[in-house]
Every structure is written in C-alpha cells, then in structure tokens.
Structure 1
Amino acid sequence: KLLLGRGANVNVQSRWYDSKHKRFYENNALRAASRGGHEQVVKLLLEKGVDINVENGGYYGNALQGAVGNGHEDIVKLLVNHGADINTQGKYYDAGQSEFYNVSALYIAAVEGHEQIAKLLLAQEGIKVNLRGGFYDNTLQAAVFRGCRQIAKLLLENGA
C-alpha cells in the first residue's frame, strides 16, 4: 500500500533466474499475489489498474493461472469478475515432465484436480473447453490421465 501510495508502477515486471532449469522468468505483483493467495493485495492492485492479462512466462503464465494452480478459488472469482481472459494459454511448468507447455486456466484446474475452480470456469460465457495444448494435448485428457473423474465428467457435460 505504501509503495503504491508513493507512485510505484503496478505493472512493473521483475526478472529472476532459476538455476535448476537454467532460464530466466518474469513476474509481477499481481501474479505473485494471486499465486500466493493474497486476496487483499490482488484487490488493491486491481483498484490501481494493473494489467490483469499480462503474460509472465513463469511457472504459471499469468495471474489467473497462478490462482487456479494453487487452488485460490476466491481470487479466481475476483480475477474473472474483473475481466481476466479465461481462455488465454500461458506457460505452465509440468514438474512431472520437466517441460513448459502452453495451457489454459481450465487445463490447469484439471491437472491440479481443483473441481470447484473447474466448475467456476466452465460456468463462464465463452469458455473454450477443447483448447489444445499441454503434455496431455487437451483438458479432458489431462483430467483423465490425472485421475480426476469428476472434472472429466464436468468437461464431457460441457462439450468436451
């Protein structure tokens, strides 16, 4: 709050090096707060006009994906209600495959087994259920391979 009150740029990107994967990543305050579950910070940044859909190219590509991947349902709702693009395919690091893939927030919900978040995303107008991407090629296959039967059922009920 203090930094924002002193004119800090809410959209500034930081860069850090991951020695394990030997690559640089970008991050911003919104993605960090979303991924960390800091709802009040997310609200403050949204009030200050942060770019909600900026791609960061890190473990989760954007703020929505960070919130989805870490199971922060209230932050997912907040971001969606403020216009986060539910179909953007950002970078996602699949630790089991040691690879980065372009995937949607719905794919991440399926891979991580976050059923309530999958329901929330599927309820959004314009959600694209059959986007291709990721190690499993699409969201339905990701849910099936990860053993998330309820999410697979939801996907089938919604056109997968």
Structure 2
Amino acid sequence: MLDPFWRDVAAIWGAVLSTIIVLVRLIPSRPRFEVGPGQPPISDLTLRIVNPDKEMRLVREIFRIKISGDGQVIGVYTEKSKLSDAGVPGTLSMLIRGEDEKEVTINCLATGDQNRIGRWILCFLWRGNWILPVSIPAFVYISTKRATRLNTAI
C-alpha cells in the first residue's frame, strides 16, 4: 500500500498539471513577427505579422529605440497608412484577423545611408483575448546590414 504522503504528492501533482493544461488553452497564442526582404522599388524590409490564433489581434507599434548607427529615420507603414505617419513612432495600429497575416513595409536605408549601419529595436504591443485583456510587448530587431543582406540574396 502507498504511504499517505505519496498520495498527497500525487494529488497535488495532478491538480498542478491539470491547471497548467487549462491555462495553456486559455492564454492566447502570440503573433509571429517575421522579417523578410523588401519589395524592390518601395521598401528595404518586409515585416510579416502572422496571427496563428482564431481570434482577432490588435497590434500597435509603441516606440522605436535606436541602438547604433548613422541612420536617423526608419519608416514603418502599411499600404493603408498615411504617408505623413511613416517616420513617426507609435502611429502604426492594425487589426489582424484570426489565422491571417499582414505585411508591414520598413524603410531603413535612405539614399545617403547606403554604406552606413543603423540598428533599431521596434516595440509592438498586441492584445490578447477577453481572458487576458492586457497588452503584451513584442520586440523586433531591424538593421540596415540585415536589410542589404536579405535584399542581395534574392
């Protein structure tokens, strides 16, 4: 026969395990941020935001941090953004339908920055579902060196 201590440990382990399984199903899945080569005449990079969940996600850019380099402005916009908001941090906001994706155009190389290296971190906030109604940050690393490598690889 089992010792009562082991039955208590098994009961607690089962309760913890079932709680973790329920929480994993309730916590929303995080959108994926994939950086790819840009479309030739317009952009340097394309940021593809993929929503794997069945519910809509609100994704909003909050701020940009310049890590290093000589580049001054980084343009982040979609096809529906106003042209005047392309270089302004915090103006990009979009809804992504369930199991869908959106593309964001990024311009980080100006005509004078072709040989310079610039690096930024973009912070996006995405909202979960009604169970977790808080905004969760997601960080994306952007560099001009990576942009030139991706675009020359095509």
Report the TM-score when normalising by structure 2.
Answer: 0.25
Q: By percentage of residues, which structure has more strand?
A: 2
Relative to total residues, which structure has the larger helix share, 1 or 2? 1
Q: Which has the higher contact order (CA 8 A, sep 6+)?
A: 2
